[in-house]
């Protein structure tokens, strides 16, 4: 299934039903008064966070949502039935924005949380409502009010305990496949991962969720590469795990790679640098990695980050990473 994390939708709430113009017509009841009922209220359009849904795929291909209109009033003072609500189910972590202003309307971070996007129109009054002592046979009614209609932008921000941040081909997918049951595509070329992957990790009696964010490159905060498309998924993570490539084939010094990653996150959102963070120097199994690691460890620790050395491919040092994550989650 495609991972879709953006969508634009149009919603239209139901119109209210019209009021009814009717008079009593019963045997032995001469000059029966007005008995036209009111119209029913139009249905609302509601958006709800569901833990069973993980992508905005439905909203991408079915962007129009309309609720049922209210039924018209009937004689014998019968009020029309209210229209059924239309409920849009989206993943937990969805942000709803007004399409015209960009203003956030709702941030659905809890399962079952819901917000009314468009309210149904009020039903019109029947002629029985207009009867007075001086006007005992009104022949006019009220039309139902139209339901609200608006365009919205939906934006999904993943909810995860740990977000893996690193350059393309740094080994993020390999690490998440090592520690969880997630099975992302893994290959020896950059940008193998084109969509975030979530993995559930169980370690020493603790469960937590790890998100593999597609590779960040220099200029990502300006939209370079996959940049802005996926940087927002880091915003909700409790811990940021920087994955730095120790391989001499990456074309960058590990310290410089870490510096670029940190700079890109700061440029996107300065608040991210206050988040709990762990640095992992990956690919320790590659020849020459140990020499490249020495200066990098000192550089990263001077900046106040815990720094670990590991190989996601062989599993070396991975247990230490999981222990550090648990300490930070409990801290």
User: Is 198 within the bounds of a domain?
Assistant: yes
The dihedrals phi and psi of 108, each to the nearest 5 degrees, come to -90, 95
Q: Which of 121, 156, 191 is the last residue of a domain?
A: 156
Give the tokens for residue 62.
């079915």
Same domain, 305 and 190: yes
The radius of gyration of the chain's CA atoms, rounded to the nearest angstrom, is 29
Q: Which of 131, 156, 181 is the last residue of a domain?
A: 156
pLDDT at 237: 87
Same domain, 143 and 242: no
Percent helix, strand and coil across the chain, each to the nearest 5:
25, 25, 50
Name the domain count of the chain.
2
User: Is 1 within the bounds of a domain?
Assistant: no
How far apart, in Å, do the first and last CA atoms of the chain sit? 36
* Whole-angstrom distance, CA of residue 323 vs CA of residue 193: 26
Same domain, 20 and 140: yes
pLDDT at 57: 87
Same domain, 52 and 88: yes
* Whole-angstrom distance, CA of residue 68 vs CA of residue 85: 7
* Whole-angstrom distance, CA of residue 160 vs CA of residue 236: 7
Q: Which of 156, 186, 221 is the last residue of a domain?
A: 156
User: Is 43 within the bounds of a domain?
Assistant: yes
Same domain, 149 and 220: no
User: Is 45 within the bounds of a domain?
Assistant: yes
**C-alpha closest to that of 176 among 201, 206, 208:** 201
Exposed e or buried b for every residue in 257-291, given b needs 16+ CB within 10 A? bbbbbbebbeebeeebeeebbbbbbbbbebeebee
pLDDT at 227: 47
- pLDDT tens digit at each of 331 positions of the chain: 456 788 999 999 999 999 999 998 888 777 788 999 999 999 999 999 998 888 888 998 999 999 999 999 999 999 999 999 999 999 999 999 999 999 999 999 999 999 999 999 999 999 999 999 899 899 999 999 999 999 999 998 877 889 888 888 888 888 888 888 655 444 443 444 456 777 888 898 888 888 887 766 555 445 444 545 667 778 888 899 999 988 887 778 889 989 988 888 888 888 888 889 999 999 998 887 888 888 888 889 888 889 999 999 899 999 999 999 999 988 6
The structure's pTM equals 0.75
Same domain, 78 and 177: no
Domain that holds residue 215: 162-330
């Amino acid at each position: 299934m495609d991972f879709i994390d953006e969508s634009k939708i149009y919603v239209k709430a139901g119109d209210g039903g019209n009021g009814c113009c009717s008079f009593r017509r019963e045997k032995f009841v001469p000059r029966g008064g007005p008995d036209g009922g009111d119209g029913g209220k139009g249905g609302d359009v509601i958006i709800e966070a569901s833990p069973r849904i993980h992508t905005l795929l439905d909203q991408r291909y079915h962007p129009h949502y309309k609720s049922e209109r209210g039924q018209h009033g009937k004689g014998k003072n019968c009020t029309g039935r209210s229209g059924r609500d239309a409920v849009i189910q989206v993943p937990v972590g969805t942000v709803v924005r007004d399409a015209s202003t960009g203003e956030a309307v709702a941030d659905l971070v809890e399962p079952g949380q819901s917000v009314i996007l468009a309210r149904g129109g009020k039903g019109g009054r029947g002629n029985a409502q207009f009867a007075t002592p001086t006007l005992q046979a009104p022949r006019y009614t009220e039309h139902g009010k139209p339901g609200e209609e608006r365009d919205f932008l939906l934006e999904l921000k993943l909810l995860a305990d740990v977000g893996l941040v690193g350059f393309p081909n740094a080994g993020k997918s390999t690490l998440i496949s090592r520690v969880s049951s997630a099975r992302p595509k893994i290959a020896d070329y950059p940008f193998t991962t084109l969509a975030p992957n979530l993995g559930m990790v169980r370690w020493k009696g603790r469960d937590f969720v790890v998100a593999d964010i597609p590779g960040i490159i220099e200029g990502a905060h300006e939209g370079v590469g996959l940049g802005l498309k996926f940087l927002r998924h880091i915003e909700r993570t409790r811990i940021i795990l920087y994955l730095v490539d120790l391989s001499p084939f990456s074309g960058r010094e590990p310290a410089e790679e870490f510096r670029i990653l940190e700079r890109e996150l700061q440029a996107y959102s300065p608040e991210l640098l206050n988040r709990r963070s762990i640095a992992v120097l990956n690919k320790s199994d590659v020849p020459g990695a140990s020499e490249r690691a020495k200066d990098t460890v000192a550089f990263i620790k001077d900046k106040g980050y815990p720094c670990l050395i590991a190989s996601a491919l062989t599993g070396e040092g991975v247990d230490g990473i999981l222990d550090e994550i648990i300490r930070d989650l409990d801290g």
